[in-house]
Structure 1
Amino acid sequence: MTRVSVRRWIAVFGVVVALLAGCRSARDEGPPEPVRPQWQAVDLPAPPGAPGRLMVRDAAACAGRWYVVGAVGGPDGATRPAAWRSVDGLGWVPLPLHPISYYGERAILYAVGCHEGRIAVIGARAGGAHGNPRVRTWRQDADGGLTEVRAEFELYGGPDAVSVSRIAGGGDGWLIAGARTGGASVWNSPDAADFQLVDKAPALASEPDLTTLATDALAASDGWLVGGAGRPAGRADRDPFVWFSEDALVWTRVALPATDQDEIVQRLLRVGSVVYALGVRGSAFQAWALETRAGSASTATAGGWRAVGGFGATGTGAVAGVEAVAGAGGDLLAMTVGARDHQLWQSVDGGGSWASVALPVDTPAGGDTSATIAVLDARMVVAVDGGAAAALWSAPLPTTR
């Protein structure tokens, strides 16, 4: 073998070895290990009344208090509303509930908003000739209990009903985000006792070339933000939007950075001066971010939104989404549901990258399941309902930096 041939053989051999080492390294690396918090099981006491399985649907934390809402389900399929409160995330007590209607007595509480230590809640129970959700709202009394708010049936229901999604509290009162047949809609109230429907509002509602849907609401220092999506005429995919209003009556629509994939904003969250929108982009979950001026939501109308990071996988054959979001300091947490299961994610860099956080139990998706999270003072509470039983866990916020 000539000297040139030897050199060529050595070079080729080196390339092959490098390629094999790279393949082996990629195989050995695998997905990163999930963050594993020090979960502590928390007792959720049964409310007074007939025994049944506990159901949890949403959680919130503010002003030094934690809240969880849901229902108690009987063996015959009957339900009654339930809510709990805690001062430390570990010891919980049921809240007194005061329903005033047939469906209020049977409601499953599924969304809770909190402002200055007071909560307001949305609940519903399917019924009537067509089995549609009969939506009711609840306000908190001075003694901490919840009283159902009297409302006409067509305020949330009727032939134009589509969805009543989330509730938020702020300096100007309370806002509910949802949709009617005319598109994205909101309900506003100064005190959570008298909600008024804002339907077919220009820029918020659907237009001939755009069908809109609202999914979440967020209070800001100068008004309200609503998140959701719009489907342009002639297209199957949706584009992500937020809307801004100073008074919940006049709205400005803002398009978020979009692709040719199906995209929707499902949850809104403000951490410090940054507003985050989280939802779905194609087959993964997505975060968008906006740097505001002193928490001013009107900043959104000037643009500046960035698509900061995608994470996870939605899977196929199921409706996927971001179920809950929470933030503390520079950390973001998102609870998601995909075709396979419910999962928890954490970002420590403003939504740019996300790490999987191991839940205390595996919770398959589908059926009557749910999972949610709330964070307060560097402690998180996770409520998981596997469809047969619900439970709470608490843990210090994991440090992944």
Structure 2
Amino acid sequence: MPIGRRFVAGLVASVLLIAGCERPAADQAQHQVRPDWRAVTLPMPAGPDGRPMLRDAVTCAGRWYVVGAIGGIDGATRPAAWTSADARNWSAVRLVPSSYYGERAILYAVGCRHGRIAVIGAKAGGAHGNPRVRTWRQLPDGALVEVSAAFELYGGPAAVNVSRVAGGPDGWLIAGGRESGAAVWRSPDGADFQLVENAPRLASDVELRTSATDALAVADGWLVGGSGRAPGRPDHDPFVWWSPDGLTWDRISLPASGSDEAVHRLLRVGDVVLALGSRGATFGTWRLADPTAGGGPAVPDGAAGEGWRAAAGFGVAGAGMIAGVEAVATYGDRVLAATVAAEGHRLWMSDATADRWSPVALPVAVPAGGDTAASIAATSGQVVMVTDDGRESRAWQARLSSTF
């Protein structure tokens, strides 16, 4: 049975709040995973000197990639990327910008498809200081070339956000938002993205104001994660959307607790699909077990049946500020999640059930703030993490304990 039909077949509203944040702080510290982090050297790319500003990492067909920028003391930035075959020895990736803002972009999101990466970058500019978004595709020789795009493809008066890029069997999908609500950009090869906005059930309507933050390729199409807010309500509810082609969408409400909730990242671990995001004062997880199994025909949203369920909460998201799950990765059969909240950037690990989370010690303390960042990438054997505390940005490599 296709994954989309299983999704739309209905949901179970059982909520398990086995939250890591509900355990005493001393108990969490006792169970903290402490990797043997080792700093790795990223060579300075050709061009003006400056400090690295690392933003995202990914594994792709046996290679590691880190993306970001080089920031000068005068505030100027230029895009930068690095690659490695073993996560220890790195080389700079050649970049080929073709526009004013491409030459100044900070690369902040990277995805993988068929052994090649695609990257999103942006630089604030123009009369209103809005982000000028650019995408990059990888050439056969490994270089990243900027993709030409009309200004209003990602920008213009309807622009809201361009979040994450995912690769799949049928091409690439970017998740984000427009004034009309959740939107996506689709491309067969990363060289020509098509904006899909005002799509029924994905975009906002009289019932729900929607926003999207992440995309994931699944067996028979795409998933997009985000949130929705009903008219007259101050809080958001968690949602995912499924599409066979990136054009037509089904809206799926996840089990909600009544707190402000949103999906920030999507991840597949074997036969399990996980959605991770915020759940009130904690971070939350939702799980769809065995998504390729059989099920009934597609039915209207909200019908009873098997599907997603809420798994454990973890950490402290806090209130009154923007908190989020920044990055997710699989380490064998484990799940890693990088989060940010008022207390700073944190790292967490769970098994595929997402019912038990343990804190993971960072290589360095990373406070919250607009110029800070943390991201994670992993394989079954090792982990690469990038950190930026606003003064120094580093890449790290480690192997984690198999137990926690």
TM-score clears 0.5: yes
SS at match of 1:154: helix
Conserved? CA contact 2:240–2:252, under 8 Å: yes
Higher helix proportion: 1
Aligned to 1:188: 186
Conserved? CA contact 1:220–1:296, under 8 Å: no
SS at match of 2:200: coil
Conserved? CA contact 2:273–2:291, under 8 Å: no
Aligned to 1:9: none
Higher radius of gyration, 1 or 2: 1
Aligned to 1:278: 276
1:293 is displaced (CA, Å) by 4.1
Q: In structure 2, give the amino acid aligned to 1:58.
A: D
1:400 is displaced (CA, Å) by 2.0
Q: TM-score under structure 2 normalisation?
A: 0.90
Q: 1:30 to 1:51 in 2, by over 3 A?
A: closer
Q: 1:323 to 1:49 in 2, by over 3 A?
A: same
Per-residue Cα deviation, 1:98-131 (whole angstroms, up to 9, x for no partner): 0000000000000000112100000000000000
Which segment drifts farther, 322-331 or 278-287? Answer: 322-331
Which segment drifts farther, 371-380 or 148-157? Answer: 371-380
1:316 is displaced (CA, Å) by 3.5
SS at match of 2:311: strand
Work out the CA distance in 1 between the residues paired with 2:153 and 2:25: 57
Q: In structure 2, give the amino acid aligned to 1:202.
A: P
Work out the CA distance in 1 between the residues paired with 2:293 and 2:387: 31
Aligned to 1:266: 264
Q: Name the structure, 1 or 2, with higher relative contact order (CA <8 Å, separation 6+).
A: 2
Unpaired segments of 5 or more residues in structure 1? 1-25
Per-residue Cα deviation, 1:319-341 (whole angstroms, up to 9, x for no partner): 10000000133200000001011
1:350 is displaced (CA, Å) by 1.7
Conserved? CA contact 2:332–2:379, under 8 Å: no
Aligned to 2:52: 54
Match of residue 374, structure 1, among 372, 377, 380: 377
SS at match of 1:155: helix
Match of residue 74, structure 1, among 59, 72, 75: 72
Which segment drifts farther, 290-299 or 95-104? Answer: 290-299
Unpaired segments of 5 or more residues in structure 2? 1-23
1:291 is displaced (CA, Å) by 1.6
Aligned to 2:324: 321
SS at match of 1:250: coil
Q: In structure 1, give the amino acid aligned to 2:128.
A: H
Q: CA RMSD in A?
A: 2.0
Work out the CA distance in 2 between the residues paired with 1:299 and 1:269: 23
Match of residue 337, structure 1, among 328, 337, 340: 340
After the TM superposition, which residues 303-322 of structure 1 pair with which residues of structure 2 at under 5 Å, given as runs? 303-322=306-325
Match of residue 133, structure 2, among 129, 135, 148: 135
Q: In structure 2, give the amino acid aligned to 1:234.
A: G
Q: 1:299 to 1:374 in 2, by over 3 A?
A: farther
Q: 1:48 to 1:201 in 2, by over 3 A?
A: same
Aligned to 1:16: none
Identical counterparts, % of pairs: 60
Per-residue Cα deviation, 1:314-363 (whole angstroms, up to 9, x for no partner): 12442100000001332000000010110000002520010000001111
Aligned to 1:257: 255
Aligned to 1:219: 217
Per-residue Cα deviation, 1:297-317 (whole angstroms, up to 9, x for no partner): 999987510111100001244
Aligned to 1:92: 90
Work out the CA distance in 2 between the residues paired with 1:371 and 1:336: 8
